[in-house]
Amino acid sequence: MRTAPTGCLSLLMFGLVLALPFVLANAVLTALTKLGLSPLSALGVALGIFVGGAVNVPVARIEQVERVEYQPTRLLGLHRLLGRPVRHRAYTVIAVNVGGCLVPTALAGYQIGRIALQAPSTLFALGAALVLNVGLCYSFATPVPQQGIAMQPLIPAGAAALSGLVLAPAWVPPVAFAAGVLGPLIGADLLHLGDIADIGTGMASIGGAGTFDGVVLSGLVATLLVPGAL
């Protein structure tokens, strides 16, 4: 009889699925506390990332020669609950994602401000790490028809962590996070805006439509990969 082992395996898998959100949440909070945030502030930022990941704020539009598909409910993330009705229009909306762009960018700006006030000599190392990551993200980012700009987020995360360890060993977490966030934001998203017209999508979201898109994930993973906290 093999029923018992199979049942135990199913129960184990179910337990792992239930535990996964808590593991991810703990990883996010651990990364944020490495950036000098208090536990309460880290929790607030984490909630901003999770909740804001469902909200896209339109900022511009690009006219299209042919009509493109779009989901009317995607701006507020309601397509996950209300289904995915598809319509057509003659332009692409450029939007910024609150949780995937605005919140991590504000936190990266805070880290740069900390470095400027407490260790201004580290700004050169931060600039070098950022330039390196922007170049890598620009090279590896790929326009995907009907979707947007895609890139493996572990590339900027690893590059940011390594750059911080080599260039700024005393300020690794904030340098790695800032480079990990701004690298893909500038290199993959902003510098590839010219490719949006050829992708044929109804909306292009800077920062992605989900919580763990490339910008957020690369910044948090870069911070987790390095030791210590400041």
More confident residue, 62 or 39: 39
As given in the structure block, the two tokens for residue 130 are 């950022």
What percent of the chain is predicted at pLDDT more than 70? 67
Count of C-beta atoms within a 10 Å radius of residue 115: 21
- CB contact at 8 A, 196 and 63: no
List, in sequence order, every residue forming a beta bridge with 61; answer none if it has no partner: 93
- CB contact at 8 A, 175 and 164: yes
Alpha carbon distance 48, 180 (integer Å): 18
Instruction: Find the range with the poorest average confidence among 4-8, 109-113, 218-222.
Output: 4-8
Predicted pLDDT at 79:
46
Residue closest to 150 by CA, chosen among 85, 91, 217 = 217
Give residue 153's Cα distance to chain centre.
Answer: 8
Scan for tokens 């996070």, then name that residue. 177
Predicted pLDDT at 95:
84
Alpha carbon distance 117, 106 (integer Å): 17
Predicted pLDDT at 129:
95
CA angle, corner 217, sides to 173 and 119, nearest 5?
20
As given in the structure block, the two tokens for residue 16 are 């792992």
Residue closest to 217 by CA, chosen among 76, 97, 78 = 97
Predicted pLDDT at 5:
60
Q: Averaged over 152-161, what is the pLDDT?
A: 85
- CB contact at 8 A, 57 and 96: yes
Residue closest to 153 by CA, chosen among 220, 70, 67 = 220
List, in sequence order, every residue forming a beta bridge with 107; answer none if it has no partner: none
At residue 102 the predicted structure's pLDDT band, cuts being 50, 70 and 90, is: very high
